[in-house]
Structure 1
Amino acid sequence: MMEQTKEVLLTEEGFKKIEDELEMLKTVRRKEVAERIKIAISFGDLSENSEYDEAKNEQAQVEERIMKLENILRHAVVIDESAIDGNTVTVGSIVKIEFQAPNEEEIDEDEYTIVGSAEADPAEGKISNESPIGRALLGKNAGDKVEVQVPDGIAKIKVVEISR
């Protein structure tokens, strides 16, 4: 596994969420998986023991996730949300936009928080500063219009409001 060396931008909330998940994995999940392995070993013959194989696979997944989260935290740069001025879109900004999809007449209004890629979750309205739309919005002001290449073509976006 390659060591990630570039900085990871996180909001304070995102940093805390990762810390909490890491703590839970180290204190709770590790013990649960170790207990499952112990029980599976008690079943005897490990060569045909599916419970043991599943528990070992789960252990590997938990350890991999722990390493990934530790790496993210090691390279984390927490965004100073008090430095967000509300006039220009930056990482940490909440942006209300009007979005016109390619080949469509109607305009949707959406609100997104621009976050670092480690905490991006489009379902929660958090888009990465590295995504095409996130990248296009950075540095823009309310009233600015941008066109963004999306899989279907060119989307038209107007920045309606910026807050933090």
Structure 2
Amino acid sequence: MTDEKMTYLSQEKFDSLTKELADIKNEVIPAIAKKIDMAKQMGDLSENAEYHAAREEMAWAQSRAKEINHILDNSEIVSKEKKSSDFVSIGSKIEVKINGQVREYTIVGAQEADPLARKISNESPLGEAFMGKKKGDKVDVHVPSGIQTYTIISIN
């Protein structure tokens, strides 16, 4: 482990990234290598569009593999068993009240954030404000239009 910032992942996301990495190493990169070899056989590489496209594809695949390796090497799996429902933590599903409306959010690591699905990163301003809070707490969040106050109704 390096001094890198820790990435928090669910077991599902960890497994998904592990599978993606295996697919890239075992299927994608070998297939691109074949494309490069075939393109080399076409002759002059300076004007060979297939060769250059395959090289770009290879660079992307290798870059993605390196990125996934980095994420996995600097990650911690958030266990459902470790999670307390007394305080908001990564993996918590919370209900909050704001301006008379009830909203539900799931606090996740940055790699799993999906605001449209109401999965917010623990590193986002909203997620960071909720972390460590308990049921009944009022949480002030600074937004461009001012300060919004959320009340935590439940934590699961």
Q: TM-score, normalization: structure 1?
A: 0.83
Distance in 1 of aligned mates of 2:3 and 2:65: 14
CA RMSD of aligned residues (A): 2.0
> Is residue 2:151 matched to residue 1:162?
no
> Is residue 2:146 matched to residue 1:153?
yes
Query: Relative to structure 1, is the Cα distance of residues 29 and 125 closer, same or farther in structure 2, using a 3 angstrom cutoff?
Result: farther
Q: What residue in structure 1 maps to residue 22 of structure 2? A: 23
Q: CA deviation at 1:122?
A: 2.1
In structure 1, give the amino acid aligned to 2:81.
S
Q: What residue in structure 2 maps to residue 103 of structure 1? A: none
What secondary structure is seen at the aligned counterpart in 2 of 1:9? strand
> Please, which moves more after superposition, 111-120 or 71-80?
111-120
Query: Relative to structure 1, is the Cα distance of residues 39 and 81 closer, same or farther in structure 2, using a 3 angstrom cutoff?
Result: same
In structure 2, give the amino acid aligned to 1:50.
A
What secondary structure is seen at the aligned counterpart in 2 of 1:92? coil
The within-5 A match list for 1:52-71 is 52-71=51-70
Q: Is contact 1:98–1:108 with CA below 8 Å preserved after alignment?
A: yes
Q: What residue in structure 2 maps to residue 133 of structure 1? A: 126
The within-5 A match list for 1:8-157 is 8-100=7-99, 107-157=100-150
Percent identity at matched positions?
A: 37
What secondary structure is seen at the aligned counterpart in 1 of 2:87? coil
Distance in 2 of aligned mates of 1:29 and 1:152: 46
Deviations 1:108-127 (A, max 9, x none): 43322212222222233321
5+ long unaligned stretches in structure 1: 101-106
